[in-house]
Amino acid sequence: MIESSTPSIIIPVLNNPQGLRRCIEALRGQGIAFELIVVDNGSTDETCAVAELLADRVLIYPKLTVGALRNQGAQVAKGQILVFTDSDQRPAEGWLASGLEALAREESAGMVGARYHAPEGSSWVAKTLDLQRRYSDVRGDIGWLQGGNLFVKRAAFERVGGFRTDLVASEDVDLSFRVRKAGFRVICDPKIINYHDGDPQTLIDFFRKERWRGSSGWKAWATQGYPLSELPSLLWPFWVVLGLVGVALGASLGTWMLGMVQGITISLLLLIGLVSPSIYRAVSIYRRLNASPIDGIRMLILLVVYGLARFPLGKPR
């Protein structure tokens, strides 16, 4: 019998039977009792069959946002602790115990979690992205937590009305801000380790995922009350795109008016100005995490691609 003291784990999923099976197998090896609810978004393959076989309860709600799917699971969950993960996640051994302990340790906490980890055998793109996450994966209060590695007290979740259902992405960032605004602490604990099999392995995949993740960024920022702390991230795409245009124009006009050498010099100076914030960020990560110089160069590449991907030009596919 499932009691309110038993944590409820909620997994939204769409057409990912293999990932769902891996995730649930990792959960069943945690050694702690829990209620497992899978919320399917209208899968057309064997995902629902896997869910029916391995979960305690399966809900089917086609064509909802991920926030709405998680809310549907929370509504029927019996536990006072709501745990959210995704079908492309693989919780490490001791993950559930670490999350529950972190939430119980801080009475004022409303949410705890940590940044995702890249899976073993990842490409340089995923490993470099992982360095970025490790940079902010520090124990203590944090601005926001990722929805696939999240432990929430029901009281805090219900106080703010759960996830917003109109956001395609950034629903976890939005929830974190509203929980903090309601007076609860949002805490990162790096011991809560969850491997993200969905990490992009190529630059093209990274670009596409960031296009999707950034699709609700400005909308979420507005409803959070326009926090200045999030403004640099939102403005970064404009800096990158307008900077690249400036470099191209500077090179063309400089060459036309002053000559080839002067044009190249101007374009190089403008390019250095464009990437200087990225260089600063990459060096900061490089120094804190004892990364290699090549990691710093790779981080620089990802930061520029991130800016291009997040620029609000059309709808992401």
Q: For the chain, how many helices (H) and strands (E)?
A: 12, 10
- Residue 227 contacts by C-beta under 8 Å, 6 or more apart in sequence? 177, 221
Q: 119 is written with which tokens? A: 């899976």
Q: 196 is written with which tokens? A: 């993200």
Please measure the distance between the N-terminal and C-terminal CA atoms of the chain and give it in whole angstroms.
43
**Spatial CA neighbour of 212 closest among 116, 86, 314:** 314
Q: What does the pLDDT read at residue 1?
A: 46
Burial label for 307, CB within 10 Å (0-12, 13-18, 19+), is: buried
CB 43 within 8 A of CB 15: yes
Q: Digits of tens for pLDDT over the chain (317 positions)?
A: 455 579 999 999 999 999 999 999 999 999 999 999 999 999 999 999 999 999 999 999 999 999 999 999 999 999 999 999 999 999 999 999 999 999 999 899 999 999 999 999 999 999 999 998 998 899 999 999 999 999 999 999 999 999 999 998 889 999 999 999 999 999 999 999 999 999 999 999 999 999 988 877 777 777 777 777 777 777 878 877 776 776 666 667 666 666 666 666 766 666 666 677 777 777 777 777 777 888 888 888 898 898 888 888 655 55
Domains of the chain, residue spans: 8-201, 229-310
How far is 208 from 85, CA to CA, in rounded Å? 22
CB 70 within 8 A of CB 150: no
Q: What does the pLDDT read at residue 270?
A: 63
Q: What does the pLDDT read at residue 254?
A: 61
What is the residue whose two structure tokens read 């009475």?
Answer: 107
Q: What does the pLDDT read at residue 228?
A: 78
How far is 123 from 135, CA to CA, in rounded Å? 19
Q: What does the pLDDT read at residue 199?
A: 94
Q: What does the pLDDT read at residue 193?
A: 97
Q: Give the 3-state secondary structure of residue 201.
A: coil
What is the residue whose two structure tokens read 């800096």?
Answer: 239
Q: 315 is written with which tokens? A: 């709808």
- Domain 8-201 CATH superfamily: Spore Coat Polysaccharide Biosynthesis Protein SpsA; Chain A (3.90.550.10)
pTM: 0.86
How far is 220 from 199, CA to CA, in rounded Å? 23
